[in-house]
Amino acid sequence: MGDALLIRGGTVLDPSQEINEPRDVLIRDGLIEAVEKDIGPERAARTLDASGLTVTPGFVDIHTHLREPGGEASESVASGTRAAAAGGFTTVFCMPNTTPVCDSPLVVRSIIDRAREAGHARVLPVASVTTGMAGERLNDYRILLDAGAGAFSDDGLPVENAAMMRRAMQAIVHLGVPIMDHCEDMSLTGPGVIHDGPVAARLGLPGIPRLSESLLVARDCALALETGAHLHVCHVSNVESVEAIRHFKARGANVTAEVSPHHLVLTDEAVEAFDVHAKMKPPLCEESDRQVLIEALEDGTLDIIATDHAPHAPGRKETLIDQSPFGILGFESAFPVLYREFVAAGRWSLEFLISRMTHRPAAIVGGEWGTLRPGRPADIALLSLGRPWTYERSWSRSRNSPWLGETFDAGVAATVFGGQVVHGADRFDG
């Protein structure tokens, strides 16, 4: 039996294998051994009773901020991955806007080492496109990948110079990973705080025009079409960006795109109720944009969901809206919020939601996670559906979520990473 673990009595939902029925999951040596009906408990040393729970692959989030090194007041690799585990995530990509910037094998390795020490989730650092995210010099991409990086991005300081971006795409085109593009024209953003729409006009806040995003989406999709490189557009927020992506996908560009839970659920109207916890980049846009984002995820123009988990230390958010940093927490609220808004509300099947949080994001970055196929790492989320769960506390070091304190009708009961129960273990004690 070795150290075999049996997850027994649950309903297995694995969109990568089109499984959605009562099955048991047998785990050995940290890998999935079998997903079958009625696996006998004698085949495992330990059994977890999953009756009443839905057993899915662990979630994959390819856009997060773990803040280490340099931003440990807001988050560490250990605290961030613990929050990830609490949200059902077992594989996370973390953005390079740290201090120092993740642009060297040394920083890549240090982040991976910290994640291994903590043991809550798999972490793949996203290395920067240009050295120091300064937009001036290309990095050594193959060397960074060999060190363990998972993709490339200059994140919140997107490559401004089109020729530089073109050269970067030409350099990564055969490496099998995307450039993850936070599309923002800083000259149009200016001092903008929220979406430049009716709410900004009402409140007298400086606005971020929608073209700030969509202009760069269009430019970089055009570069992707020309170079053949894989461009992954981050956190798409408005209708113009969706139309640009749709256009260039139809032309054959190797473009994928993600949308965040908050852009699917909130609009700029949320600023009045949630204050700084509705301030992020790109900004929440209008209801007509939100509807287009939902439809674009449904028709495949947008491929996946990513949280853009962006912790900010409590003191930094306790200020005026135009002075507070951009971004909100994402890991722990993602599934409960999306389940409530779209699955419980009857718009999406659970399979639809889970596929866009598991094997589909993994495929974008060339990873074989987000699946319960035999031989793959035993990364599993156990979901409790239809039972109230209150987001009472966060494992993050930060508290900047609009949803803290809310009660949801679904939650993550437990998470297994590499065969170890990393969240919700107390549920199975005794």
Mark the segment that binds other proteins (CB under 8 A) among 56-64, 69-77, 234-242, 398-406: 398-406
Mark the segment that binds other proteins (CB under 8 A) among 67-75, 97-105, 203-211, 212-220: 203-211
Q: Are 127 and 94 in contact (CB under 8 A)?
A: no
> CA quadruple 283, 285, 291, 295: dihedral positive or negative?
negative
CB-nearer residue toward other proteins: 140 or 160: 160
Bridge partners of 47, per DSSP, are 6
> How many Cβ atoms from other residues are within 10 Å of residue 226's Cβ?
12
Q: Please report whether residue 405 would count as binding other proteins according to CB under 8 A.
A: yes
Q: Please report whether residue 146 would count as binding other proteins according to CB under 8 A.
A: no
Q: Please report whether residue 197 would count as binding other proteins according to CB under 8 A.
A: yes
Q: Please report whether residue 408 would count as binding other proteins according to CB under 8 A.
A: yes
CB-nearer residue toward other proteins: 160 or 275: 275
Q: Please report whether residue 274 would count as binding other proteins according to CB under 8 A.
A: yes
Tokens of 152: 């490339």
Mark the segment that binds other proteins (CB under 8 A) among 15-23, 36-44, 212-220, 401-409: 401-409
Q: Which residues contact 269 (CB under 8 A, 6 or more apart)?
A: 199, 287
One residue of 136, 201, 251, 366 binding other proteins per CB under 8 A: 201
DSSP for 72-123, please give it: TTT--HHHHHHHHHHTTEEEEEE-S-SSS-S-SHHHHHHHHHHHHHH-SSEE
Q: Please report whether residue 273 would count as binding other proteins according to CB under 8 A.
A: yes
Q: Please report whether residue 402 would count as binding other proteins according to CB under 8 A.
A: yes
* Min separation Cβ 197 and other proteins, Å: 6
Mark the segment that binds other proteins (CB under 8 A) among 14-22, 59-67, 157-165, 205-213: 205-213
Q: Please report whether residue 143 would count as binding other proteins according to CB under 8 A.
A: no
Tokens of 72: 């440990």
CB-nearer residue toward other proteins: 98 or 214: 214
Q: Please report whether residue 204 would count as binding other proteins according to CB under 8 A.
A: yes
Spatial distance between the Cα atoms of 255 and 248, rounded to a whole number of angstroms:
8
CB-nearer residue toward other proteins: 351 or 406: 406
DSSP for 49-72, please give it: E-TT-EEEEPEEEEEE---TTT-T
Q: Using alpha carbons only, how large is the chain's radius of gyration in Å?
A: 21
Q: Please report whether residue 190 would count as binding other proteins according to CB under 8 A.
A: yes
Tell me the per-residue interface mask from 224 to 253 with other proteins, x by CB under 8 A, - otherwise. Answer: ------------------------------
Spatial distance between the Cα atoms of 415 and 425, rounded to a whole number of angstroms:
8
Mark the segment that binds other proteins (CB under 8 A) among 51-59, 104-112, 192-200, 411-419: 192-200
Spatial distance between the Cα atoms of 193 and 233, rounded to a whole number of angstroms:
22
CB-nearer residue toward other proteins: 152 or 408: 408
Number of H helices, E strands in the chain: 15, 20
Phi-psi region of 372 (alpha: psi -120 to 50; beta: other; left: phi over 0): alpha
Q: What is the residue type of 275? A: D
> How many Cβ atoms from other residues are within 10 Å of residue 337's Cβ?
23
Q: Which of residues 278-317 bind other proteins (CB under 8 A)?
A: 287, 290
Q: Are 173 and 134 in contact (CB under 8 A)?
A: no
Q: Which of residues 319-378 bind other proteins (CB under 8 A)?
A: 319-323, 340
Q: Please report whether residue 200 would count as binding other proteins according to CB under 8 A.
A: yes
Helices 105-118 and 77-86: angle between axes, nearest 10 degrees: 50
On the question of a cis peptide bond just before residue 69, with omega within 30 degrees of 0, the verdict is yes
* Min separation Cβ 243 and other proteins, Å: 20
Tell me the per-residue interface mask from 46 to 85 with other proteins, x by CB under 8 A, - otherwise. Answer: ----------------------------------------
One residue of 406, 420, 427, 428 binding other proteins per CB under 8 A: 406
Active-site amino acid positions: 308
One residue of 33, 154, 181, 196 binding other proteins per CB under 8 A: 196
**Chain contacts with other proteins (rule: CB under 8 A):** 190, 196-198, 200-207, 266-267, 269-277, 287, 290, 318-323, 340, 402-403, 405-408
